[in-house]
Structure 1
Amino acid sequence: MSAILSADDLNDFISPGVACIKPVETLPTASSTSSNPYEVTTEDKVAAEKLPPAQISLTDCLACSGCVTSAEAILVSLQSHAEVLNALDSTPSIAPESLAPGLASSATSHGRIFVASVSPQTRASIAAAYGVSEREAEYMVEQLLSGPYGIRNGGRHGSRFTWVVDTNVAREVCLVLGAEEVAESLTGLRGGAEAGMKEAVDIGPRKPILTSSCPGWICYAEKTHPHILPHLSRLKSPQALLGTLLKTSLSRRLGISPDRIWHVAVMPCFDKKLEASREELTDVYWKDKGKGKGVRDVDCVITTKELFMLADSRGIQFSQLPRTPLSSTDQIPFPDTILNKFLFPTHSGARRLRPRNNPEGGTSGGYLHHILQTFQARYPGSTIHMERGRNADVAEYTITRGDAVLLRTARYYGFRNIQNLVRKLKPPRKSRLPGGRLGGASRKPGNAAGQPSTAGGTTGSAPEYVYVEVMACPGGCTNGGGQIKIADAMELRGEHESSTETTQSGPAAQKQWLSLIDEAYFSSDSSGEEESEPHSPPPSVLNPSQTTTDGDPDIINGISISYINSIISHWSRTTNIPLENLVYTAYRKVESAVGKEDKASSTEKVVELAGKIGGGW
């Protein structure tokens, strides 16, 4: 985020305000120059020139991340590596021996449980920076947050993060539920109704369903294209889902308040900070009868680069951290045995297979890839066809069997491509003339043979899509704004631009650097000994009734659908919370308040928001 953003000017909602940092060309015109080239003119003799308004394109906005509201800038500023240290130093962490059901609430009235979750994109970025494997990068992060050589040294209370969780485990749940959401939209069990946002979870999204795990894309849709909201997947992102799982499970199992569980997420982009600040992602939405206090499911989000700031603040040299797992004494079992095996398969001794990061699935979680694999398994003899779009970030996928098209999907990365998608989904506008036809978006005549119908008001030139994977960053999540760049990597290694390695100049160098991160991301399933047999995991781990994974629709890309469903059912049953409240969320149209209230009242509102550290926006 731009450091220039502040509460001094509130007129920065979507339209550029005075804090916008896009450079404006101010070269003198021919008429403003003197005919005498040797004449010296003082500044007070030059008439003030009123510059034309800056022309800001969406590409410019995304390049600087400047066009967020001031309220959002305040919320983002509350989430930093300094906030992590303040939380650790404010209260001691609850002793591990007290983390048993019913004991934590009486162990200390001031202690907290500190939990961290780390994204695979973050680990891949670290692996590329130091030239280590993704698994070694994971160990280094665990050692920093929980190990004896990490941030607990030098702290006021010696607090540490009791658990460091891989967000891939939540991604498994999102992938399985995402495929079910698409299947339900095709059968019409939950979709097709016209209703308000309060009923959005019950009716499901319209086709085409658009991914909702990218907060930059969600922020853009809510502010500028409310007609897109009925198409958004109702599933929480892996970050949000894991935050809900940790806070609900620990608070119910240990009998403590959710505000005594402090959760930080390490993510590849800054927009995840805004996601964590959403009111819909607080305990108000899952606690009994809405009696929550507005405690966030994710208290703080820091980016990959801020993880190094966290280490530097404690005087820790990240590169010198052990690249080995935590000792058995530092591995604290999760209070729920079943969830312990799910969240920490290596720590618990189980060799449960990680979902494979297939290059065909991209670097943003593989939502589309998993849905394609799921439906291909349901229709034996079907094939997947891919057609590349205008650039590498646009592609269309179809599942066919014979001449029949069973499923048509697409992938749109980057806001330039997203704009094209949004135009296709824009509803037609009614002519003001008597008897006039609907105008606006162009239409394609009919659907392909054998293709599912897309009833529900979808118009434009993309009515045949059933599902579209949408991500704000070109290239996917490994290219997030909070990731390590080339210059950062050279600084971490103590190198300079004169190094024989790739320098930081030019798009070709950036592309090469991103390929190194992608390589680390895709190699994650082969960097550990527990994945030595990726196609033949022990049957008892994935599904007690499963005897083989070959040709079975229950096993999709190493993920057992029945096992995931049993995990979320156990989660809902033990917490006594409806599953819909745990895994689904909602979206709303965000309207600008610019010009509708005076500056003083707006500033007071921002200050009030800034004080709600534990709540949403």
Structure 2
Amino acid sequence: MAFSGALTLSDLNDFISPSQACIKPVEMAKTSETQGAIKVDDTGSYYEVSQDGSETKLETATISLNDCLACRQTNDPTKHRTVVISISPQTRASFAAKYKQTPLQVARKLTWFFKNLGVHSVFDTSFSRDLSLLESGREFVARYKNAVKKGTIKSPTTNESVPTSSEGGDMDVDVQQDVKATKAPRKRIIRRGVAGASDEPAVAVETESAMPMLASACPGWICYAEKTHGYILPYISETKSPQQIMGSMVKNHFGTQLGLNPDQIYHVCVMPCYDKKLEASRSDFYSDLYRTRDVDCVITSTEVEKMFSEQGQTDMIAFGEVNLDPGYNSVIKDPITGADQVLVGASGNASGGFLEYVMQYAAKELFGIDGIDVDKGLGVEVKTVRNADFREVTLQLPGASEPLLKFAAAYGFRNIQNLVRKVKTGKSPYHFVEVMACPSGCINGGGQLNPPGDNHATVPLKDWIGLADQQYRNSVMARKPEENPVLKQLYEEWLGGVDTPKVKQQLRTGYHAVEQNLINPLAVKW
């Protein structure tokens, strides 16, 4: 007899997990029984009023000389930092939907607004997304080949059809021959604490061959995995998110061009999600040498809109427009109309297009199949499973019994929980999964704008998300990341190639199971 997944108990012991147990601390701090009130007189002075009616004037908080000497910091007016702002395409789409502007108009107006505040440069994270997509594709191809060599997955074709060079496509070497070659050093994720102990699967997993590969651009998903599912970490892509790759580029490449050290640049990212603030604060993205972060500050779309009113600018439509800065902006001269600037970017969904691009890249590099378009359903089968937030994309040759590649997109924690459960038990049928914590993905991030008037009654949430998604896809000319000429220059001049230690340093990262220090004795497993 089958039971509902929601009602089945996974552990039949006396242990009560922290999520089920009362988390009220055993030790309670005693509160003072004395009750009083605070009174403010006409002069603005504060008085404490006791129960007997007596009043005591409260002293104004001051900073003494002793405080300054203890702080030991100085206000150095000569320590000027160059401010750089990077804007996400999801933010651009949200403003375009609300103010009925084109994405290019929004980009120009936001550039005008920030330049008036003294910002040095305004960039577009669509540019760093190209780099993130390209690295994700290369990482997937390398993992796929390693998994085939180790026998953890079975290649649906002959050995000769799956190239085994580290970057794909350049060499056609038989897999059996390559197994005899010197093996690469193993790399494992060290898992500690509750998240890495109680959930540890029976078989250890190596990052270089862990399948399915799970996308890493969503910080909400990463935080959830690190805190609750340590066993899943080796499966997560090591490629940095577009935000953090832009941070590496701004601090370590753009700064060098200006003759500045990383700590002389203040880098702000405008994002659709509050969790991006947590991502920027990770210790992995902090330089001990320069004592600075790759991204110093993250503000959301709604916080930028609040800045408008603080600056006396309530109507974005009335903003001026300036051309986008050269450098890290995805704009070119329109080859058809001859317009000075037109936005370009990778095709795909409004969460960055990781599923679409990795599928295209892997199909070409592994099997020599070109011309795939996931959005249009060309060359692949796209199927919605359970709900609109879970899709499957399958690449299968006519008449073949097994698919060449099977990808999925899982949005929202309900779908994520089902996914990680299958990965843990080894029952996941996928090679790659685009994972996003928010239902509908990044375009529906918690930091995105509300409809005009903040009224979802007149514009239902589903329709509002659809408008923003439409703006995300419209007015942007499709261009594959590998066709970006500036990226080729970055690999040659900044990174020294496509497979170098500097690539791993600047474009890759790692993950850490978070140890949970439980203060509730009832939650301790005996």
TM-score range, shorter chain: 0.5 to 0.7
Higher mean alpha-carbon deviation, 303-312 vs 372-381, is at: 372-381
Distance in 1 between the 2:91 and 2:306 partners? 14
TM-score by length of 2: 0.67
Distance 1:203 1:566, change over 3 A: farther
Whether the 8 Å contact between 2:330 and 2:343 is mirrored in structure 1 is no
Whether the 8 Å contact between 1:111 and 1:260 is mirrored in structure 2 is yes
Paired AA for residue 422 in structure 1: V
Paired AA for residue 311 in structure 1: F
How far apart are residue 112 of structure 1 and its match? 1.2
Q: State which of 456, 466, 471 in structure 2 corresponds to 1:520.
A: 471
What is aligned with 1:256?
Answer: 260
Distance in 2 between the 1:232 and 1:517 partners? 28
Distance in 2 between the 1:14 and 1:300 partners? 35
Whether the 8 Å contact between 1:205 and 1:234 is mirrored in structure 2 is no
Whether the 8 Å contact between 2:263 and 2:291 is mirrored in structure 1 is no
Paired AA for residue 457 in structure 2: S
- Residue 380 in structure 1 maps to residue 369 in structure 2: yes
Q: State which of 133, 139, 142 in structure 1 corresponds to 2:108.
A: 139
- Residue 393 in structure 1 maps to residue 389 in structure 2: yes
Distance in 2 between the 1:370 and 1:522 partners? 15
TM-score by length of 1: 0.58
Q: Which secondary structure does the structure 2 equivalent of 1:265 belong to? A: strand
Deviations 1:554-582 (A, max 9, x none): xx7474278634423322249x9712100
What is aligned with 1:246?
Answer: 250
Distance 1:293 1:561, change over 3 A: closer
Distance in 1 between the 2:515 and 2:140 partners? 30
What is aligned with 1:589?
Answer: 513
Distance in 2 between the 1:16 and 1:233 partners? 35
Q: State which of 565, 570, 576 in structure 1 corresponds to 2:493.
A: 570
Deviations 1:292-339 (A, max 9, x none): 24411000000000002222222223425435324xxxx776xxxxxx
| Runs of at least 5 residues in structure 2 that lack an aligned partner in the other structure | 1-17, 26-74, 147-163, 167-183, 192-203, 373-378, 522-526
Distance 1:332 1:475, change over 3 A: closer
Paired AA for residue 423 in structure 1: R
Q: CA RMSD in A?
A: 3.4
Task: List aligned pairs for 1:47-126, cutoff 5 A.
Answer: 109-126=78-95
How far apart are residue 141 of structure 1 and its match? 0.9
What is aligned with 1:274?
Answer: 278
Distance in 2 between the 1:258 and 1:16 partners? 46
| Runs of at least 5 residues in structure 1 that lack an aligned partner in the other structure | 1-11, 20-89, 93-108, 153-159, 285-291, 334-339, 427-440, 442-458, 492-502, 526-530, 535-555, 598-617
Whether the 8 Å contact between 1:112 and 1:262 is mirrored in structure 2 is yes
Q: Which secondary structure does the structure 1 equivalent of 2:509 belong to? A: coil
Distance in 2 between the 1:315 and 1:16 partners? 48
Whether the 8 Å contact between 1:192 and 1:206 is mirrored in structure 2 is no
Deviations 1:371-417 (A, max 9, x none): 12223444337831122210011111111123152111111000010
Q: State which of 157, 172, 189 in structure 1 corresponds to 2:130.
A: 172
Whether the 8 Å contact between 2:215 and 2:236 is mirrored in structure 1 is yes
How far apart are residue 192 of structure 1 and its match? 9.9
Whether the 8 Å contact between 2:330 and 2:344 is mirrored in structure 1 is no
What is aligned with 1:415?
Answer: 413
Whether the 8 Å contact between 1:569 and 1:579 is mirrored in structure 2 is no
Whether the 8 Å contact between 1:212 and 1:236 is mirrored in structure 2 is yes
Q: Which secondary structure does the structure 1 equivalent of 2:386 belong to? A: coil
- % identical equivalent positions: 34
Q: Which secondary structure does the structure 1 equivalent of 2:85 belong to? A: strand
Distance 1:236 1:356, change over 3 A: closer
How far apart are residue 251 of structure 1 and its match? 3.7
Whether the 8 Å contact between 1:170 and 1:238 is mirrored in structure 2 is yes
Deviations 1:458-513 (A, max 9, x none): x1x21x31110000011010100001123xx226xxxxxxxxxxx4239x811111
